[in-house]
């Protein structure tokens, strides 16, 4: 058992320490730097703390930090690296997002960084943010903030602050409330973010009720960080989320959409999705998801369709790389929502069987409505609609009796979503019956082989009639009209049924079709 002196209380009497101090032996020996003493209710191994702070030093050795820090100091202003970059550095990785906080106002920020930058942007000036391109790095520098919030408003009253500590207090979670002063490289941690990071806990700097009331989107952000970082949400924060879920309704649909997208694109979105559902937030932003918990899923042997859907998301993510679809938002949305038509189509048949006839069509329509309300772009909405609409098509192939025509139609209907449909269909097999799962996997292997063979013989990725509209009008001697479209559709059906037949045969069959109308 480790000696108690090998552990350290972490935080800080004045909550800051020089990175130079943190590198010396005092942090790893029996004695330790008194500036790191604070009663946090937890003892942590000193070596773990030392390793974390070494990571901070190693991953913030960017020369740009010194250049910027000295430039602001020369102008009589403070500058600190803040938030995610500090958190990531401690976790042993370098962040590509470089965020800084400063005592300077936006005009002064511009005057300081202007001579150093090849380009600057002041699109965030109203929020105190100036962006700049300095060498190969893009940085965002924001004036200290001390915003105030109205209870019923979705937007804060922007107020600039005068010190770093107050700026850090207004941030979402303690792990994002740490800073590194520049150029002195003083580590500032007024809310014990290092402790929480090492304990893998998401806790708010102020009381969670206050923090979530100020910006309710922080509740969704907590779910997202739980997935992105693999951390646990502090029980007090989760309790506050449950009691304040309705506050999310004052947040714009666009911000909700963006946060949901970031959550889904994390390496493991399941914990975050479960937090949204269990807290009641999903009931307000994506009600179709918690509704799935009410539906038993006898077919997949899950206690409910909700658990099946989460499993499909996980399995889709595991298959993404195989199909070149890493972090594909359309695929993950479709996987999550593919069965949302089941509650509306559930029927209890004679003998006790439960059916969900046409839940694919109903679910596609529901997804279009929900994603449109969340302000997803039209291309995303249409692609998710198509995948949900088609997600059951393959299960009619399990006897491997499809004609070439049926295979062509499968490819044609999937269009640009074919690879995503491959993944979704495979991921939708969650049965615990290994023999059945293997049979379905082999059947889909066979379908993909047939698609590949036909693709070598024909242009399956661009199926079109042998004749275009102009040729149709010339052959039939007609002008632009509804009949041209009907003729085009006829030729397309021929192409799907018979494959490539050549222009001459298409001409002959078109004339026969026209004369028999």
pLDDT tens for the chain, 517 residues: list them. Answer: 444 444 444 444 344 444 444 433 223 222 333 333 333 445 677 788 888 989 999 999 999 999 999 999 999 999 999 999 999 999 999 998 999 999 999 999 999 999 999 999 988 888 899 999 999 999 999 999 876 666 666 566 677 888 999 999 999 999 999 999 999 999 999 999 999 999 999 999 999 999 999 999 999 999 999 999 999 999 999 999 999 999 999 999 999 999 999 999 999 999 999 999 999 999 999 999 999 997 555 554 445 899 999 999 999 999 999 999 999 999 999 999 999 999 999 888 777 778 888 999 999 999 999 999 999 999 999 999 999 999 999 987 766 678 888 888 898 889 899 999 999 999 999 988 899 999 999 999 999 999 888 877 776 566 777 778 788 888 888 888 888 778 777 777 777 777 777 888 878 787 887 888 8
Q: Which helix (H) or strand (E) holds 404?
A: helix 404-414
User: pTM of the prediction?
Assistant: 0.82
What was the pLDDT predicted at 366?
A: 98
d(C-alpha 200, C-alpha 192), whole Å: 12
Structure token pair of residue 170: 């207004």
Structure token pair of residue 298: 């006898």
What was the pLDDT predicted at 395?
A: 85
What was the pLDDT predicted at 297?
A: 54
Q: Are 331 and 324 in contact (CB under 8 A)?
A: no
Residue listed under structure tokens 């990531």: 88
Q: How far apart are the first and last CA of the chain?
A: 91
CA distance to 218, 249, 337, 392, 427, per residue, from 288 (Å) = 22, 16, 8, 19, 20
CA dihedral defined by 94, 98, 101, 105, rounded to 10 degrees?
Answer: 160
> Residue 183: is the preceding peptide bond cis (ω within 30°)?
yes
Across 23-48, b (16+ Cβ under 10 Å) vs e yields beeebbeeebbebbebeeeeebebee
Among residues 157, 161, 185, 189, the alpha carbon closest in space to that of 176 is found at 189
Q: Are 188 and 178 in contact (CB under 8 A)?
A: yes
What was the pLDDT predicted at 33?
A: 38
């Amino acid at each position: 058992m480790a000696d108690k002196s090998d552990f350290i209380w972490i935080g800080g009497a004045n909550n800051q320490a020089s990175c130079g101090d943190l590198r010396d032996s005092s942090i790893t020996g029996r004695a330790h730097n008194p500036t790191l003493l604070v009663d946090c209710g937890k003892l942590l191994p000193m070596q773990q703390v030392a390793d974390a702070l070494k990571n901070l030093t190693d991953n913030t050795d960017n020369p740009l930090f010194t250049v910027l820090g000295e430039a602001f100091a020369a102008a009589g202003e403070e500058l600190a690296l803040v938030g995610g970059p500090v958190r990531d550095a401690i976790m042993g990785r370098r962040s590509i997002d470089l965020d800084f906080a400063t005592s300077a106002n936006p005009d002064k920020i511009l005057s300081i960084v202007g001579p150093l930058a090849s380009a600057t942007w002041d699109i965030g000036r109203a929020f105190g943010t100036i962006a700049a391109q300095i060498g190969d790095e893009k940085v965002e520098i924001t004036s200290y903030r001390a915003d105030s919030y109205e209870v019923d408003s979705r937007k804060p009253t922007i107020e600039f602050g005068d010190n770093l500590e107050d700026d850090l207090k207004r941030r979402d979670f303690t792990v994002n409330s740490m800073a590194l002063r520049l150029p002195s490289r003083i580590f500032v941690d007024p809310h014990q973010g290092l402790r929480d990071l090492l304990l893998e806990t998401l806790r708010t700097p102020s009381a969670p009720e206050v923090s979530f009331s100020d910006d309710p989107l922080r509740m969704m952000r907590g779910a997202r960080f739980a997935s992105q970082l693999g951390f646990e949400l502090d029980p007090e924060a989760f309790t506050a989320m449950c009691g304040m879920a309705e506050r999310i309704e004052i947040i714009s649909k666009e911000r909700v959409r963006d946060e949901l997208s970031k959550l889904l694109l994390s390496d493991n979105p399941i914990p975050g999705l479960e937090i949204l559902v269990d807290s009641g937030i999903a009931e307000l932003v994506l009600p179709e998801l918690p509704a799935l918990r009410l539906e038993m899923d006898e077919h997949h042997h899950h206690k409910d369709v909700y658990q099946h859907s989460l499993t499909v998301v996980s399995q889709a993510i595991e298959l993404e790389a195989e199909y070149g679809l890493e972090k594909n938002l359309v695929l993950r949305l479709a996987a999550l929502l593919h069965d949302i038509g089941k509650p509306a189509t559930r029927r209890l048949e004679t003998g006790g069987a439960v059916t969900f006839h046409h839940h694919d069509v109903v679910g596609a329509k529901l997804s279009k409505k929900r994603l449109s309300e969340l302000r997803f772009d039209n291309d995303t909405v249409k692609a998710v609609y198509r995948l949900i609409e088609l997600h059951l098509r393959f299960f009619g192939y399990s006897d491997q009796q499809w004609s070439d025509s049926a295979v062509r139609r499968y490819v044609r209907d999937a269009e640009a979503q074919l690879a995503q449909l491959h993944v979704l269909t495979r991921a939708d097999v969650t049965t615990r019956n290994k023999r059945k799962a293997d049979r379905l996997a082999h059947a889909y292997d066979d379908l993909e082989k047939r698609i590949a063979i036909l693709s070598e013989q024909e242009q399956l990725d661009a199926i079109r009639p042998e004749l275009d509209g102009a040729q149709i009008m010339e052959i039939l001697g007609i002008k632009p009209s509804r009949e041209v479209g009907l003729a085009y559709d006829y030729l397309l059906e021929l192409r799907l049924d018979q494959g490539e037949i050549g222009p001459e045969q298409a001409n002959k069959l078109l004339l026969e079709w026209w004369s028999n109308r």
